[in-house]
Structure 1
């Protein structure tokens, strides 16, 4: 888990992971999307490869990279302990309460208006 956390600490590496989320890319295609040197991108790719977050294969003279998202499992599980699981439930409960309160107010107003029409 520590190697994965260290690998995603850098914004360039995080951007590379986002790129690889959708499809496999050649190293040159990845490098073309950054304003840093190709050797710098290569070093970032090496860190990602060594952490297990990406795999590479040779296709002729090109090195093709793809994401291995399974390496996030332990980190996600560890981070989960800091997420409040009841947050959405409380919001939905509050919304439900507001909906019922509004409906009740409309019924009360509607019956009051109807009584006033009948007495007029």
Structure 2
């Protein structure tokens, strides 16, 4: 997935809230879903989008799927902006 897909994923408020939750600790799908007043299929779709962009990872632990924030992707985004600023500064 490219940066456009990542930014599109970040444009949704629910997905941003999920990322904030995962920045505090790893959570099961059920724990994430219980924090929202949305249907399970809707939350599942959000999780799939976040996972497809690499923003989160999942791991099956017994009967649960545990989601984690993938900080590597956020580091890549920071590098992108740092390089963009550097190019902008060089070009005046």
Structure 1 length-normalised TM = 0.63
Task: Name stretches of at least 5 consecutive residues in structure 2 with no aligned partner.
Answer: 86-92
Following TM superposition, by how much is the alpha carbon of 1:30 offset from its aligned partner in structure 2, in angstroms?
A: 0.1
Partner of 1:70: 72
In structure 2, distance between residues paired with 1:4 and 1:73 = 13
Task: State how 1:59-98 maps to structure 2 within 5 Å.
Answer: 59-80=61-82, 81=85
Instruction: Report Cα offsets for 1:30-72 as digits up to 9, x if no partner.
Output: 0000011111000000000000010001111111000001102
Q: How many residues align?
A: 82
Farther off after superposition, 52-61 or 67-76:
67-76
Of structures 1 and 2, the one scoring higher in RCO (CA 8 A, sep 6+) is: 2
Structure whose alpha-carbon radius of gyration is higher: 1
Task: State how 1:21-60 maps to structure 2 within 5 Å.
Answer: 21-60=23-62
Which stretches of structure 1, 4 residues or longer, exceed 6 Å deviation after superposition? Answer: none
Q: CA RMSD in A?
A: 1.5
